Structure 1
């Protein structure tokens, strides 16, 4: 069930940053719920956070995964959870590492791997690709590319570059969801994160795809994030 207590304008908000830039973000779900910053996949935009079922969460999707501390201050949020989906995982992990004193939980779904192959999607994904979910995803992708392709180009470079931290240094309660039959991101990536992040809880499913696991696991993910708030 989707909670949409926020107005349509909440999908098109801007946060002024100290250096004069503005960070685009969107809010959805329960305004009084547990605040959770959502890092979208590759490609994507803040709108991706408005597409998912939400129960008791205040989801905040960001266009660019930077200056999250400043955005939290702008929204008068002290502690918060973090979700990283596919290409958003490196950024969610970075926030959990760099702002660990403010992050109460980290949820990772289908972690992104560099140099990913073209894939035949499982039947579970095909059902989503042929329905309204795909139209909504395309809208998010178009929003991310509306002004420039520079953001996507920067993401592609970052995925292949060395990180400034190691997963073993993440000290935030972490849960990982990954589909064993994922043809986009291999299960070995999820297993690597599960083995590296201290005390991470791993949930490896058997009947989803790269896209459908997000929908089918969302209640469990929301429960995890709420339990750590």
Structure 2
């Protein structure tokens, strides 16, 4: 990063991180999965932690619609690699208070409050799927000194790339969320309620159990199939713990301008990993983004989809946070 660039979210003066009390943050540590802090404006921010409690810090931004519990997928590999993964709920999801009229560019301030509270001076960020735009927003707004790495995993692409890349279903969702948000909230709440009932029925639980037993990730889990199923369903429904408001709001945010020019993002460099066969977020939209970010590398995975890219997750984590970075962190921590 060139000296003299304007820092949009200021660092605390000096080398010390602002204590939680100084930022108006209070914590309620029920467990690593259900933690909250009170933000300066009175909102609550929920977050979960995975991996090694003393490992290299990565903030993981969940997909759409989802929650902090999505981070379960990286827990085992984060422990092996010596990573501390912190996954916050965006406003309205999980434990975090809904924020009216929020923007993608509001997110970096919440992130700064979280890392100040946790006394983390420098960290990496990884945005998965719908969390991708929020990783770019952090690269745009947070001081360079705070970010050790910025990554996007199968990220949602900007619609400015062209409507021809956006499915009809997604266009209809965006239209409904923009023009009739109240009606869409009622509809989604009804669908989620029906899905909760169906998910506990015999045929569905049998199907889920059979599907889970075929997953490669089961090789490293100590959970029973029933426990795995319960964890999966909890992850899916946690996004709607407060209703559909957050998902309807975010359907608008992700389908409109992100609030800044990609060419103005100063961070060097943003890493992107994307499957060439991704139907949820077509790679053409990600190429559009990568071509406009001044400092960006895009790695495309032939034959991989939005969901099969997870097979490469441990490799991707190794590229985001290198062994050298982990060793340096360990040396400073001892």
Please give the TM-score of this superposition, normalised by the length of structure 2.
0.59
Other-structure match for 2:48: 26
Deviation, 1:85, is: 0.8
The aligned runs of 1:34-53 (5 Å cut-off) are 34-52=56-74, 53=77
Does the 8 Å CA contact 1:28/1:50 hold for their aligned counterparts? yes
Q: How many residues align?
A: 213
CA distance in structure 2 between the partners assigned to 1:35 and 1:80 by the alignment: 5
SS in 1 for 2:40: coil
Does the 8 Å CA contact 2:271/2:320 hold for their aligned counterparts? no
CA distance in structure 2 between the partners assigned to 1:118 and 1:138 by the alignment: 24
SS in 2 for 1:198: coil
Other-structure match for 2:150: 106
**Structure 1 portions without partners, runs of 5+:** 1-6, 120-128
Deviation, 1:38, is: 0.7
CA distance in structure 1 between the partners assigned to 2:61 and 2:167 by the alignment: 19
RMSD (Å), alpha carbons: 2.5
CA distance in structure 1 between the partners assigned to 2:280 and 2:255 by the alignment: 16
Does the 8 Å CA contact 1:32/1:58 hold for their aligned counterparts? yes
Q: Which has the higher helix share?
A: 2
Q: Aligned pair in 2 of structure 1 residues 68, 194: CA closer, same or farther (>3 Å)?
A: same
SS in 2 for 1:61: strand
Partner deviation per Cα, 1:45-98 (whole Å, 9 max, x = no partner) = 001112223222211111116311000100001111111111111111111211
Other-structure match for 1:123: none
CA distance in structure 1 between the partners assigned to 2:167 and 2:154 by the alignment: 13
SS in 2 for 1:193: helix
Q: Which has the higher strand share?
A: 1
Does the 8 Å CA contact 1:11/1:50 hold for their aligned counterparts? no
Please give the TM-score of this superposition, normalised by the length of structure 1.
0.84
CA distance in structure 1 between the partners assigned to 2:168 and 2:121 by the alignment: 40
Does the 8 Å CA contact 1:118/1:184 hold for their aligned counterparts? no
Other-structure match for 2:317: 222
Q: Aligned pair in 2 of structure 1 residues 137, 158: CA closer, same or farther (>3 Å)?
A: farther
CA distance in structure 2 between the partners assigned to 1:190 and 1:168 by the alignment: 14
CA distance in structure 1 between the partners assigned to 2:153 and 2:302 by the alignment: 14
Task: Give structure 1 regions of 4+ aligned residues with deviation exceeding 3 angstroms.
Answer: 113-119, 132-138
**Structure 2 portions without partners, runs of 5+:** 1-28, 92-106, 160-165, 171-209, 216-227, 326-334
Q: 2:32 aligns with which of 10, 27, 33?
A: 10
The aligned runs of 1:143-162 (5 Å cut-off) are 143-162=238-257
CA distance in structure 2 between the partners assigned to 1:72 and 1:22 by the alignment: 15
Other-structure match for 1:169: 264
Deviation, 1:183, is: 1.8
CA distance in structure 2 between the partners assigned to 1:222 and 1:188 by the alignment: 23
1:180 lines up with 2:276 in the alignment: yes
Q: Aligned pair in 2 of structure 1 residues 137, 116: CA closer, same or farther (>3 Å)?
A: farther
CA distance in structure 2 between the partners assigned to 1:16 and 1:85 by the alignment: 25
Deviation, 1:208, is: 1.9
1:130 lines up with 2:211 in the alignment: yes
